[in-house]
Amino acid sequence: MKDKKNLASIWKLVEPPIRPSNGVMAIYKKYLLQQKSKGAKNFLLLGATPEIRSLVNHESCSLLCVDRNKEMFSGLEELVTHKGRNTFICSDWLDIKTNSPIDIVFGDGVVNMLPHDKQEQLIQVIHKVLAPQCMTMLRTTTISKPMFESAQKLFEWYRTSQQYQPVFTTTNIHLRMLWLHETQTKTLDYVEYYNYLHQLHQQGTMRDEEFSCYQKLYQTKDKLNVYYPKKDDFEQLLSKYFEIENISYGNDYSGNEYNPVYVLTKRVAAPN
């Protein structure tokens, strides 16, 4: 496990949409304040996202943070800009147990970290820990048709109209969709994806300075898979357990259409 200083250093390098953008955080804040005004006081975060911890702390609310790696919680502590009442529970997300019902569950990208055959189980767990008619917000990247026909077209568009925007934030989600479409898979393998990026660089599709922005985060030694549900299938799954109150988008980076925040209210009863 990377040491605490290293974890914080890595997270500082991460750009949206991997970490929540300002637009995404505005969505979380809107619904947090809405629920707080109705008396919500028990909040739970899947993972250790420092931006969400800062938001909840700023509003003087207590927060349970659940992750199976304690080092992740403590390692990102220095990036939490507002300190508060955070309690860490060392647990797999699929095995969460709480002493009292939860009013809001935050999950930023967490669904994508679980294999496809485990994603419904996570939705069931969230439904179980929530108090009746309470809320979860899940930012989840879903698969849809790529907006660009090729990586070449993508970078031509970037250089002609988006060159003042961060290359990673602007192009990464589009590249991922192209790779998933070309490989006909719903799982992004970091090693294979890095090899794909390296090939684009060797072919001249990505320029040196563009490729270097990706190299900060993607290395062949990283053993990590990310799992993307199809949009329609995922929304059908959510509807079994929750009312979909809203599907919101950060709207401050290109490709946010693939990366909605699902605002969900617990149905009274889960399906049998």
Would strands 62-67 and 130-139 be described as parallel, antiparallel, or unpaired?
unpaired
Question: What is the rounded distance in angstroms from the CA atom of residue 236 to the CA atom of residue 241?
Answer: 10
**For the segment 58-107, what is each residue's pLDDT rounded down to a tens digit?**
999 999 999 999 999 999 999 999 999 899 999 999 999 999 999 999 99
The string of pLDDT tens digits covering residues 161-172 is 998 899 999 999
Asked if the model's pLDDT at residue 3 lies above 60, the reply is: no
| Contacts of range 218-224, beta carbons closer than 8 Å, 24 or more positions apart | 218/190, 218/193, 218/194, 219/194, 220/191, 220/194, 220/195, 222/190, 222/191, 222/194, 223/190, 223/191, 224/189, 224/190
Q: DSSP alpha helices (H): ranges in the chain?
A: 4-13, 22-36, 50-58, 70-75, 116-129, 151-161, 167-183, 190-203, 208-215, 231-241
Bin 255: left if φ > 0, else alpha if -120 < ψ < 50, else beta.
Answer: left
Higher pLDDT, 13 or 92: 92
- Residue owning tokens 């299938």: 233
Q: b or e along 239-265 (b: 16 or more beta carbons within 10 Å of the residue's beta carbon)?
A: eebbeeeeebbbeebbbbebbbbbbbe
- Residue 227 is predicted with a pLDDT of 98
Residue 270 has pLDDT above 80, yes or no: no
How much of the chain, in percent, has pLDDT values that exceed 90?
A: 86
Domains and CATH numbers, the chain: 4-142+229-266 (3.40.50.150), 151-227 (no CATH)
CB under 8 Å to 126, separation ≥6 — which residues?
105, 107, 136, 138, 241
First to last CA, the chain: 40
Q: Rounded distance, CA 72 to CA 48, Å?
A: 7
| Higher pLDDT, residue 60 or 219 | 60
pLDDT for residue 219 is more than 80: no
For residues 206-229, average pLDDT: 85
- On the question of pLDDT at 259 being above 50, the answer is yes
Q: Phi and psi at residue 132, in whole multiples of 5°?
A: -55, 135
The whole-chain average pLDDT of the chain stands at 93
Higher-confidence position of 218 and 4: 218
pLDDT-derived band of residue 214, with 50, 70 and 90 as boundaries? very high
Q: Indicate if the pLDDT at residue 223 is higher than 90.
A: no
| Portion of the chain with pLDDT greater than 70, in percent | 96
Tell me which residue has tokens 């179980």. 128
> Among all chains, which residue has been given the structure tokens 């059908």?
236
Residues contacting 53, CB < 8 A, separation 6+: 45, 63, 65, 76, 80, 84, 86
pLDDT value at residue 135: 98
Task: Give the pLDDT score at 8.
Answer: 86
Helices 167-183, 151-161: inter-axial angle, 10-degree rounding: 160
3-state secondary structure of 122: helix
Query: With bands split at pLDDT 50, 70 and 90, how would you rate the model's confidence at 210?
Result: very high
